[in-house]
Structure 1
């Protein structure tokens, strides 16, 4: 059984192009009965949302975001869920903007709480 994304916080492992999602962006995922959704913010993104479906270890979703300059953008992403050796989850993403030109790949990984 694939591990749930519900309640997990994930962050990109590298910055994308300027004005997009970056290492300061945090995604809070939710999952129920094959549906996934998340809120995200940080870096150049004021507020973002994604919604889609999960089948096994494959996510298929659309996203929309508002940036600090007031612009909005949207796109489509397919991700593969991978369990890392330390037990955290990683999403290996292939995305494409629908509201503007551009596409690419990225990786987000589960953020763990640091214990003092």
Structure 2
């Protein structure tokens, strides 16, 4: 199993559609005893939260967010945790909106101190 996500700052490697997370969004992850949660904000997102579980290298969580346009959205995501050769963590995500149509894949990676 890859190392703990607790205390890691993560960011998407590419922008999604407008009103969604993007390269300016930062996720602050927490992990304890198989539980994961994070707060996120930046870009088109004013505030977001995710909560779920981790079993091995698989995350399963729900997310809810407030966009800069005043809309709220929620969805479900399953991610695979991968440790990169340089020691950073990557999450390969498959997500789907539950509050509106749409689904997709994305990648978020650990942000190093100088890239925050």
Unaligned runs of 5+ in 1: none
TM-score (norm 1): 0.97
Alignment-derived partner of residue 45 in structure 1 = 45
Q: How far off is 1:2 after superposition? A: 2.9
Q: Once the two structures are superposed, what CA deviation does each residue of 1:17-49 show, in whole Å capped at 9, x if it has no partner?
A: 111100000000000000000000000000000
CA distance in 1, matches of 2:113, 2:21: 21
CA RMSD of aligned residues (A): 1.0
Alignment-derived partner of residue 103 in structure 2 = 103
Alpha-carbon contact 2:2-2:83 (below 8 Å) kept: no
Alignment-derived partner of residue 21 in structure 2 = 21
TM-score (norm 2): 0.97
Unaligned runs of 5+ in 2: none
CA distance in 1, matches of 2:45, 2:105: 18
Alignment-derived partner of residue 10 in structure 1 = 10
CA distance in 2, matches of 1:6, 1:60: 16
CA distance in 2, matches of 1:101, 1:77: 14
CA distance in 1, matches of 2:24, 2:104: 19
Moved segments of 4+, more than 6 Å = none
Alignment-derived partner of residue 74 in structure 1 = 74
CA distance in 2, matches of 1:60, 1:45: 21
Q: How far off is 1:50 after superposition? A: 0.1
